[in-house]
Amino acid sequence: MRILSCTWVVALVAIVVALPSRRSNLVLHEKRAMEPVDWVQSRKLEPDAVLPMRFGLSQSNLHRIEEMLHSVSHPSSPSYGKHFSPQNIVDIFAPSDETISAVTNWLVDSGIAKQRLRLSASKGWIEVNATTAEVEELIDAEYHVYTHPSGAQQISCHSYSVPEHVREHIDLIQPTVHFLHRVPQPDQIQKRSLGEFGKLDAAIHGGPKTNGKQVTITPSLEHCDEMITLDCLRALYSIDYTPQATDKNTFGILELTPQAFLQSDLDMFFANFSPSQVGTSPTLVSIDGGVAQTEQQGFNFNGESDLDLEYAFGLTNPQPILLLQAGDLVEGASFNNWLDAVDGSYCTFEGGDDPTQDGIYPDPLPGGFDGPESCGIIAPPFVVSASYGQDEGSVTEAYAARQCAEYGKLGMLGTTVLYSSGDDGVAGNGGICLGPDGTPSRRGTRFSPDFPVTCPFVTAVGATQVNPGSTVNDPEGACEQVIFSGGGFSNFFALPDYQATAVTSFLTNHPPPFTSAQFNNSGTVRGFPDISANGANYVVAVAGEFVLVFGTSCSAPVVGSMITLINDARLAAGKGPVGFINPALYSDDFADSFHDITTGGNQGCGTPGFTATEGWDPVTGLGTPNFTTLLSHFLALP
Ligand SMILES: *[C@@H]1O[C@H](CO)[C@@H](O)[C@H](O)[C@H]1NC(C)=O
Ligand SMILES: *[C@@H]1O[C@H](CO)[C@@H](O)[C@H](O)[C@H]1NC(C)=O
Ligand SMILES: *[C@@H]1O[C@H](CO)[C@@H](O)[C@H](O)[C@H]1NC(C)=O
């Protein structure tokens, strides 16, 4: 009792003393990205409720990521390929003592006793348990309880502020504005059933026919405008390479539970297209209880994983593949979960995930994974392909920036991260665009870019098609069947140096017929995608049948496979993996590595979208790769 009253006296005095100097110099730090849909603000949070507050400290040297990445990734840099070590990364980005004391002093001056503060082991976060009343006063916020029709509840404030002089020392504060809307979805791959299975069968098993002359086109290549197979892709992109250094190489495919592959589907695909691989399985890397579940089956549960693994295995045979399966069956997972798993410094050093966006482990929900969070359980694979995304406008800029910096660090470590660019053209997931405030809205008319592809430290992969009636020897167009290649310009991220010439040239020479009300046309923001590959009519074995699959989801693992083969050749030659590839892709030396795509567009938001044209464009990027040429350029680098 005495202790309690003592605490009260201390707290009251502190508030009285600190009040006048505090409010006056607070500046807005973050406000909620998007108003909750289906959630009702039910009441103010009780003033004596205790909140587990965490103050994310700014890391040092974040502004130097681009420059440091450039030094190891630009073909003309003397330190090309000399990637950083994990310890270098920790040391370079650790928050400075100045940052730690600035935030500590602010909290103590505001009346929070120093003994209540805890600096996380990695120095990334300052943690404190504080009452709602204390926090509301401290950061000028108002907390409410929100209720969902399902009965679920969460707390959130609409915005919060910090003093001007500590602003630069804080990334973000939790729990505050970050609100759970939904977990990221796989890009909406679409399927069509394969009308005549007999036709496919003949194409596959017929084998090359001969009339005594040399046959250069196998029967399956005659139908690549209707059905894409491994052979179509090999012909389109001149892929003719057998891996030699598979034991040194690593290739990871991300899947978010409950999305899962079926071994019977892989075997059905292999039996038809790559017989030596029947029985081959990926190596499961279980992240936060991740399981390749088999209880729920069908296109929506198996389509993405089956597609990714069938094509990645087929194109890189005999390279083993790491399946980064993230999230348990109850809670699922998001991008920060796999990032934690491949970089222990991200979860321990930066302190953790955003409970509103990411799976939080151990999972408190019944039946959930109750083991510890998967933190640094494997080294980052040399290539990671992820065919998942969410609308950039559904996350806060601070959240996106923190995750984007992590992709930059993976690039510095020597990892290539590929994300598909989305399947709704210039619109967001499900064809939804942005309202005037920049958040997703059914009546919105502003283009809605995807995240994380807009992060300048990932390689964004768009989709093309073999135009109807054309062959693999004709130029492809932007994908305009079933899906439209995601592309456009970020509302968060600045134009990276490596892309400046390409984007400026596009906006100058082919100015799009839109205004700044539709997209940021200032020429100072990141454009995407970077590169593309076929995304229409993939023959995929899913849930026991062959179906045709469409989407940038097809394109990302195909480009990932090509980079994996390039890494193989480099490893076999005693060199390192290529890591972050964008500075090389956009360099003059690599210009002949692409088939420029100049037809088709990416409609959305009630417009025809952007139009593919000569040079880089925000539909197909630099174009589709010529693997042979790309390989020779990367192999020539140190
Ligand atoms: C906050 O309270 C929880 C529950 O009592 C405790 O586990 C945690 O260590 C406390 N955190 C701090 C920073 O004191
Ligand atoms: C476009 O981006 C630039 C650079 O981030 C920014 O200054 C400008 O306000 C943005 N324009 C619009 C219309 O959002
Ligand atoms: C790819 O480039 C090589 C030369 O580097 C060329 O022989 C080949 O025809 C090109 N492939 C395609 C599909 O254009």
Question: Is 615 annotated among the ligand-binding residues?
Answer: yes
Angstrom CA distances, 204 to 234, 357, 528, stand at 15, 44, 36
Q: What is the pLDDT of residues 608-633, one digit of tens each?
A: 999 999 999 999 999 999 999 999 99
Write the residue with the smallest CA distance to atom 14 of ligand 2: 520
**CA 156 to CA 319: how far, in whole Å?**
46
Distance CA 21, CA 83 (A): 47
Greatest distance between any 2 Cα atoms in the chain: 101
Encoding tokens for residue 70? 């450039």
Average confidence (pLDDT) over 149-155:
71
pLDDT value at residue 360: 55
- Which string of DSSP letters, residue by residue, matches 513-548? S--TTTS--SS-EEEE-SEEEE-S-EEEEETTEEEE
% of the chain with per-residue pLDDT over 90: 66
Q: Which atom of ligand 1 is nearest to the CA of 117?
A: 13
Question: What is residue 365's predicted lDDT score, i.e. its pLDDT?
Answer: 53
Query: Hey, is 174 helix, strand or coil?
Result: strand
User: Is 225 known to sit in a ligand binding site?
Assistant: no
pLDDT at 347 over 90: no
Residue nearest to atom 4 of ligand 2 (CA): 524
**The CA-based dihedral angle spanning residues 306, 310, 316, 322, taken in that order and rounded to the nearest 10 degrees:** 30
Ligand nearest to the CA of 473: 3
Please name which ligand lies nearest the alpha carbon of 233.
3
The pLDDT of residue 578 is above 80? yes
Q: Residue 234 is inside which H or E element, if any?
A: helix 230-237
Return the top range by mean pLDDT from 170-174, 262-266, 395-399.
Answer: 262-266
How far apart are the CA of 377 and the centre of ligand 1, in A?
A: 26
Q: Band the pLDDT of 197: cuts 50, 70, 90.
A: very low
In contact, 397 and 449? CB cutoff 8 Å? no
Note if the bond before 355 is cis, omega within 30 degrees: no
Q: How far apart are CA 85 and CA 78, in angstroms?
A: 18
pLDDT at 19 over 60: no
Gap from CA of 458 to ligand 3 centroid (Å): 27
Ligand that comes closest to the CA of residue 490: 2
* Distance (Å) from CA 127 to ligand 1 centroid: 9
Judge whether residue 215 has pLDDT over 60: no
Distance CA 541, CA 544 (A): 6
* pLDDT > 50? residue 201: no
Bridge partners of residue 119, in order along the sequence: 126
Q: pLDDT: is 573 or 149 the higher one?
A: 573
β-bridge pairing 125-131 and 50-57: antiparallel
- The secondary structure of residue 449, as a DSSP letter, is -
CA 448, 452, 454, 460 dihedral sign is: negative
What pLDDT shows up at residue 558? 98
Of 367, 293, 280, the closest CA to residue 326 belongs to 293
What are the φ/ψ torsions at residue 122 (nearest 5 degrees)? -90, 0
Report the amino acid identity of residue 446: R
For ligand 1, the distance from its centroid to the CA atom of residue 117, given in whole angstroms, is 10
- R_g of the chain, CA atoms, integer Å: 25
Ligand 1 pocket test, pick from 114, 115, 129 with the greatest ligand atom count within 8 Å of Cβ, gives: 129
Residue 439: per-residue pLDDT: 86
522-545 confidence digits (pLDDT tens): 999 999 999 999 999 999 999 999
**Which residues make beta-bridge pairs with 451?**
390
Name the residue with the closest Cα to ligand 3, atom 4: 629
Alpha carbons 11 and 481: distance in angstroms, whole number: 64
- Tell me the domain boundaries of the chain: 6-59+98-183, 205-636
Backbone angles phi, psi at 524, to 5 degrees: -120, 10
Which residues surround ligand 3 with Cβ inside 6 Å? Answer: 238, 626, 628-629
The answer, yes or no, to whether residue 194 has pLDDT greater than 90, is no
Cα–Cα distance measured from residue 622 to residue 624, given in angstroms and rounded to the nearest whole number: 7
At 429, the pLDDT band (50, 70, 90 cuts) reads confident
pLDDT at 178: 72
What pLDDT score was predicted for residue 204? Answer: 24
Element (H, E) at 635: helix 627-636
Looking at the CA of residue 472, tell me the nearest atom of ligand 3. Answer: 13
Q: Please give the structure tokens belonging to residue 625.
A: 């790769």
Separation CA 189–CA 320 (nearest Å): 25
Q: How far is the CA of 522 from the centre of ligand 2 (A)?
A: 7
Determine the residue of 434, 439, 520, 521 to mutate for testing ligand 2's pocket, defined as the one with the most ligand atoms within 8 A of the Cβ atom: 520
| Residues designated as active site | 304, 308, 553
- List Cα–Cα distances, 510 to 172, 479, 524, 620, 624, in angstroms: 39, 20, 16, 15, 20
The answer to whether residues 61 and 88 touch, using CB atoms and an 8 Å cutoff, is: no
Give nearest CA residue, ligand 1 atom 6: 129
Q: Whose CA is nearest to atom 10 of ligand 1?
A: 129
pLDDT, residue 402, reads 86
Ligand 1 neighbours by CB, cut-off 6 Å:
52, 118, 127-129
Alpha carbon nearest to ligand 1 atom 2, residue = 129
Residue 396 has pLDDT above 80, yes or no: yes
CA distance 57 to 132: 21
- Ligand 3 mean position to 498 CA, how many Å? 25
Q: Of 608, 414, 617, 412, which Cα lies nearest the Cα of 510?
A: 617
Predicted local confidence at residue 527, as pLDDT? 98
- Average pLDDT of the segment spanning 316-323: 98
Residue 37: the pLDDT is 67
Q: What is the DSSP string of 394-406?
A: GS-HHHHHHHHHH
Q: Which strands, in side-by-side order, build the sheet including 538-542?
A: 190-193, 545-550, 538-542
CA of 234 to the centre of ligand 3 (A): 11
The yes-or-no verdict on residue 351 having pLDDT over 50 is: no
Pocket of ligand 2 (CB under 6 A): 494, 516, 520, 522, 524-525
Contact indicator for 363, 257 with CB cutoff of 8 Å: no
Residue in this structure with the two tokens 């109807």, named with its chain if needed? 468
Q: Which ligand is nearest to the CA of 526?
A: 2
Q: Which residue has the higher pLDDT, 330 or 585?
A: 585
* H helix or E strand, kind and range, residue 418: strand 416-420
State residue 211's pLDDT score: 27
Name the residue of 522, 524, 525, 526 whose CB sits within 8 Å of the most ligand 2 atoms, as the mutation to test its pocket. Answer: 522
For residue 586, give the DSSP letter: T
Is residue 487 a known part of a binding site? no
67-123 per-position pLDDT tens digit: 999 999 999 999 999 999 988 988 899 899 999 999 999 999 999 999 999 987 667
Task: Annotate 11-46 with DSSP letters as a single string.
Answer: HHHHHHHHHHHHHTTEEEEEE-SSPPSS-EEEEEPP
The Cα 452–Cα 439 span in angstroms is 16
- Ligand 2 centroid, distance to 118 Cα (angstroms): 38
Three-state SS letters, 267-317: HHHHHHHCHHHCCCCCEEEEECCCCCCCCCCCHHHHHHHHHHHHHHHHHHC
Domain 205-636 of CATH type 3.40.50.200: yes
18 Cα distance to chain centroid: 43
* Closest to 454 in 3D by CA, of 394, 529, 551, 512: 529
- Report the half-sphere exposure of 65 (CA within 13 A, side-chain side): 25
Q: Which atom of ligand 1 is nearest to the CA of 52?
A: 1
Confirm if 424 and 430 have CB atoms less than 8 A apart. yes
The residue whose C-alpha atom lies closest to atom 11 belonging to ligand 2 is 520
Tell me the pLDDT of the chain averaged across its residues: 86
For ligand 2, atom 1, the nearest C-alpha belongs to: 520
SS3 for 332-394 is ECCHHHHHHHHCHHHHHHCCCCCCCCCCCCCCCCCCCCCCCCCCCCCCCCCEEEECEEEEHHH
Residue 298 marked as a ligand binder: no
Alpha carbons 138 and 128: distance in angstroms, whole number? 13
- Both structure tokens of 108: 């103590």
Token duo for residue 408: 């930059």
Q: Are 162 and 27 in contact (CB under 8 A)?
A: yes
* Ligand 3: nearest atom to the Cα of 626: 1
Ligand number with the minimum distance to the CA of 232: 3
Q: Please choose from 232, 594, 629 the residue to mutate so as to test ligand 3's pocket, defined by most ligand atoms within 8 A of CB.
A: 629
Backbone angles phi, psi at 167, to 5 degrees: -55, -45
pLDDT over threshold 70, residue 488: yes
